């Protein structure tokens, strides 16, 4: 591989990485660990139990 081709290949790779960084992220939701999910479930259950139902 000649020198110019190597340089061109490196610059192309750097540009690709830079544009990938600026690109919007996928719509995939952020990972939440099992322990955190359990905490959230307990917290929402506790909140639901604490709030009294409005009487008409």
Tens digits of residue pLDDT in 5-34: 999 999 999 999 999 888 887 788 889 999
What is the structure's pLDDT at 34? 96
pTM over 0.75: no
As a whole number, mean pLDDT of residues 29-54 equals: 86
- Provide the 3-class DSSP secondary structure of residue 2: coil
Dist. CA 36–CA 28, nearest whole Å: 18
How is the chain split among helix, strand and coil, in percent rounded to 5? 65, 0, 35
DSSP state of 28: P
């Amino acid at each position: 591989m000649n020198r110019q081709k190597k340089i061109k290949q490196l610059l192309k790779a750097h540009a690709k990485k830079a544009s990938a960084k600026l690109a919007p992220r996928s719509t995939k939701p952020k990972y939440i660990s099992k322990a955190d999910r359990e905490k959230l479930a307990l917290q929402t259950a506790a909140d639901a139990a604490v709030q009294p139902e409005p009487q008409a």
